[in-house]
Amino acid sequence: MHLVALGAEHFRNLATFRLAPHRRFNILEGKNGQGKTNLLEAVFLLSAFRSFRDARNRELVSWSEEATTVYGEIVRRDIARTVEVTVSAKGKRVALDGKNITRLPDELAHLNVVLFGPDDLSLTKAGPQLRRRFIDRAAYAVWPDYVTGLRRYAEALKNRNELLRQAAAGGLDVGVIQAFEHALVQHGARVVQRRLQFLKSFQPHFDRVFDHITAGALKGGIAYRGFKGLSKDADLAALEAGYAQALDEARATDMRRGFTSVGPHSDDLLFHINKRSARVYASQGQHRAFVLALKIAELHRIHEAIGVYPVFLLDDVSSELDEERNAQLMSYLDQAGGQVFITTTDRRFIHVASDARVYRVADGVISAE
Ligand SMILES: Nc1ncnc2c1ncn2[C@@H]1O[C@H](COP(=O)(O)OP(=O)(O)OP(=O)(O)O)[C@@H](O)[C@H]1O
Ligand SMILES: [Mg+2]
């Protein structure tokens, strides 16, 4: 799939633009602070209808303006559709092929993107939140309705946490909290099941890529860490029973502390190299190899699910990856096909054999060369 048109008005610092991106490589070159990442953020918005920087609506709008509109024309298996997202402090509006839609239907995931940015380079080192975000985004690309399950879980979690806060502040019957746990267990178990399913289908891709990147020298592994006693082969009923028991055991503590301590919102992915924790033992180069393999495997997995390559957004990683990993990434992208947007402060960092179009980004103005 690829964008044949991309435009925006009043988006962050970007001057109104309209581009016809190249089918393969689009290199966005510019000095620091000129608007390169903003441009990737605009593309991401067309896919996920929110920012990858977790920005508030009004932050996306140029400072002197009231609203921003981002526009894209996306070709997916020869079918072209337009997506237009308008954002203001009041909220968001999405139009598909010119028609406003009120609820985001699952099939709206017309544009799939995979983002590889500086944050991802700490996937193996940082706290669990980044890893949950990684698996959730990837699973969403594979199963668009996954996001609905996540939302339902978040809702149920918010309800229980609200009651726990009341309990912590003094006086709330435990029965009230228990009554709210049914929904949490149901939606939580479903989220865990999807994540386990995703990992199972992801692992062969990851193994192959990691093996290739490390020339067979290392073996990587990914495990899911959830509630106590969680088995990766558990079916939905077993996951529900296990999660219900974990909540039961945590309830007294949760009531004292005022929040829910177990569940998919606090689960983690454990990354291993040769069976040892990557976070604890991996070298810098091994961390980079692991992250690179995760991202390339993500592209493969999504390709397997939807039959086409997602659009790949590469934010300034060339300057962070070492020379060898960089070369591996570029050669992979050269071979894989698919549309790529790469930001860089200097195009000489980017060595691709395929055709590329270079855009200069300077003080919010994007110009094609
Ligand atoms: N809502 C907004 N309105 C106007 N300008 C904004 C808005 N939000 C961010 N900016 C400006 O956009 C610029 C940052 O753009 P961006 O993050 O895309 O830079 P970049 O080209 O990726 O730089 P780097 O190479 O340092 O990552 C900053 O100067 C910032 O002040
Ligand atoms: Mg940037």
The pLDDT of residue 128 = 96
pTM of the full structure: 0.91
On the question of pLDDT at 301 being above 60, the answer is yes
In this prediction, residue 119 has a pLDDT band, given cuts at 50, 70 and 90, of confident
Q: Whose CA is nearest to atom 13 of ligand 1?
A: 33
pLDDT of residue 107: 53
Q: Could you state, in order of their start, the residue ranges of all structural domains in the chain?
A: 1-112+310-369, 119-306
Which run of H or E residues covers position 136? Answer: helix 128-142
The whole-number pLDDT of residue 174 equals 86
Q: Which ligand is nearest to the CA of 315?
A: 2
12 Cβ closer than 6 Å to some ligand 1 atom = yes
Whether residue 99 has its Cβ less than 6 Å from ligand 1? no
C-alpha of residue 14 to centroid of ligand 1, in Å:
8
- Cα→Cα distances 293→2, 63, 204, 368, Å: 23, 39, 11, 32
Lowest mean pLDDT among 32-46, 97-111, 227-241, 242-256: 97-111
Residue 144, pLDDT score: 86
Domain 1-112+310-369 part of CATH 3.40.50.300:
yes
Q: Give the pLDDT confidence score for residue 351 in this predicted structure.
A: 85
Q: Which helix (H) or strand (E) is 244 found in, with range?
A: helix 236-257
**Whole-number Cα distances in Å, 77 to 74, 100, 139, 212, 236:** 10, 23, 21, 29, 34
**What's the pLDDT tens digit per position in 125-184?**
999 999 999 999 999 989 988 989 999 999 999 999 999 999 888 878 888 899 999 999
pLDDT in tens, 54-74: 899 999 999 999 999 999 999
- Among 1.20.1050.90, 3.30.499.10, 1.20.1250.20, 3.40.50.1820, what is the CATH number of 119-306? 1.20.1050.90
Cα-only R_g, the chain: 22
CA of 146 to the centre of ligand 1 (A): 32
Provide the token pair at 233: 């082969």
